[in-house]
């Protein structure tokens, strides 16, 4: 069975009680990569009693770290050959290469390919054989939190998706994997590879990474160009963003509106849509279309194949933006002030 792209999935949330650890208890998981997600999945799985082998290249600097954490390490090819479940946690841009060289030749019928992001499957950069399961367990959090939460008996919310169910057990096994890394403690939402990939790309481009940084830079430049000090512009357009986002994260938009002054609320409610207007909305729809029709994926793949020329240029330009220089200076001052505050507290306590 292959997922139907036009199907919409009802959102179902799974918790610990919905998962049966037996579905993974007697299996060996090869965790390929020991970066942000890899180190967290590998250690959480192992602490949950699952047999784990970490797949890393000879000479990889991560080998020492994985062994230091008490894990067994093998080459990616050997790890895959040994494993029932292959958790692909190398960077998305190197996954097709690792798949071709280390995974595909060592996959057996009934094995599972497990991902934390759907890009390569959804855009056909990896085309698995029909006799393996293809699942996704994607924690909605950076890896160090996935690990820290697990160690503190807390959970990390996550997504579960089944792209291909050759054995009939893909769903139960995916849920057991999610439980073993601590996700069902917090809640796991069922989705599809398509939905996860497209919403993830759209979100990071239009809102989270792209939209927000552009909003910050344009606001900063507007103030500085009008003659205000770069320091004030930095505080107003970047530094205070965290306070606002924290309020929205804790209690939604309403929680934020309740906490700011009436003046801020009235001004914000009347002017927000002036900045992000219908034109911005049309641009968002275009961004979504390029995600949906694969244009963005093709562009990004070609960019990598060409050695990342535009990416490198854009990165440099972003690094050299004046706001970065001003920010570094001011954050240095904050750190110095914080240290002084701590010293004062220490003195009071003493
Ligand atoms: P990462 O960049 O932190 O780590 C990748 C690891 O892969 C490296 O530490 C290294 O051990 C290994 N590696 C790098 N190049 C390699 C190569 N050529 N061959 C073999 N091994 C190599 O990656 P990450 O951020 O943990 O991402 C892994 C997956 O998890 C991706 O699919 C990503 O989309 C997904 N994901 C990441 C996050 C996150 O917060 N970082 C969150 C959810 C999902
Ligand atoms: Mg195998």
Judge contact between 57 and 78, C-beta under 8 A: no
Question: Which residue reads 């996704």 in tokens?
Answer: 136
Asked if pLDDT for residue 347 goes beyond 60, the answer is no
Q: What number is the average pLDDT over the span 213-233?
A: 98
pLDDT band, very low/low/confident/very high, at 334 (cuts 50, 70, 90): confident
Residue nearest to atom 18 of ligand 1 (CA): 94
Q: Which ligand is nearest to the CA of 97?
A: 1
d(CA 34, CA 160): 21
| pLDDT of res. 338 | 54
Pocket of ligand 1 (CB under 6 A): 33-38, 56-57, 60, 62, 89-92, 94, 98, 116-117, 138-139, 142-143
In angstroms, the first-to-last Cα distance of the chain is 67
pLDDT tens figures, 5-53: 444 445 689 999 999 999 999 999 999 999 999 999 999 999 999 999 9
Catalytic annotation present for 117 = yes
pTM of whole model > 0.85?
A: yes
Going by CA atoms, what residue is nearest to atom 8 of ligand 1?
35
Q: Does residue 81 have a pLDDT over 60?
A: yes
Q: Name the catalytic one among 39, 41, 117, 122.
A: 117
In angstroms, what is the span from residue 89 Cα to ligand 1's centroid? 5
Query: What DSSP line would sit under 25-69, residue for residue?
Result: HT-EEEEE--SHHHHHHHHHHHHTT-EEEEE--TT-THHHHHHHT
> Ligand 1 pocket: which of 116, 178, 189 to mutate (most atoms <8 Å of CB)?
116
């Amino acid at each position: 069975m292959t997922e139907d792209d036009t199907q919409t999935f009802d959102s179902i949330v799974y918790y610990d009680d919905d998962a049966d650890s037996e579905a993974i208890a007697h299996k060996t998981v090869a965790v390929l990569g020991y970066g942000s997600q890899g180190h967290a999945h590998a250690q959480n799985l192992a602490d949950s009693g699952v047999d784990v082998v970490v797949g890393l290249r000879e000479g990889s600097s991560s080998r020492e770290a994985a062994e230091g954490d008490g894990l067994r390490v093998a080459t990616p090819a050997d790890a895959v050959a040994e494993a029932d479940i292959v958790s692909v946690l190398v960077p998305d841009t190197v996954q097709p290469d690792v798949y071709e060289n280390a995974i595909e030749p060592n996959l057996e019928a009934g094995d599972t390919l497990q991902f934390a992001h759907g890009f390569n499957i959804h855009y056909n950069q990896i085309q698995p054989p029909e006799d393996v399961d293809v699942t996704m367990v994607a924690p909605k959090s950076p890896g160090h939190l996935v690990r820290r939460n697990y160690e503190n008996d807390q959970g990390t919310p996550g997504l579960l998706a089944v792209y291909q169910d050759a054995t009939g057990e893909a769903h139960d096994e995916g849920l057991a994997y999610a439980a073993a890394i601590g996700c069902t403690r917090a809640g796991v939402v069922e989705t599809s590879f398509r939905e996860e990939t497209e919403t993830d790309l759209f979100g990071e481009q239009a809102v989270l990474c792209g939209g927000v940084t552009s909003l910050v830079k344009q606001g900063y430049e507007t103030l500085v160009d009008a003659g205000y000090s770069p320091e004030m512009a930095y505080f107003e357009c970047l530094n205070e963003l965290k306070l606002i986002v924290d309020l929205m994260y804790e209690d939604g938009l309403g929680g934020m509106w309740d906490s700011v002054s009436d003046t801020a609320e009235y001004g914000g409610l009347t002017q927000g849509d002036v900045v992000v207007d219908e034109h911005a909305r049309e641009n968002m729809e275009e961004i979504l279309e390029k995600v949906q029709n694969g244009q963005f994926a093709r562009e990004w793949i070609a960019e990598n194949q060409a050695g990342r020329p535009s990416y490198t240029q854009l990165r440099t330009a972003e690094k050299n933006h004046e706001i970065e220089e001003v920010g570094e200076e001011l954050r240095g001052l904050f750190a110095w002030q914080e240290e002084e505050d701590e010293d004062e507290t220490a003195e009071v306590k003493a």
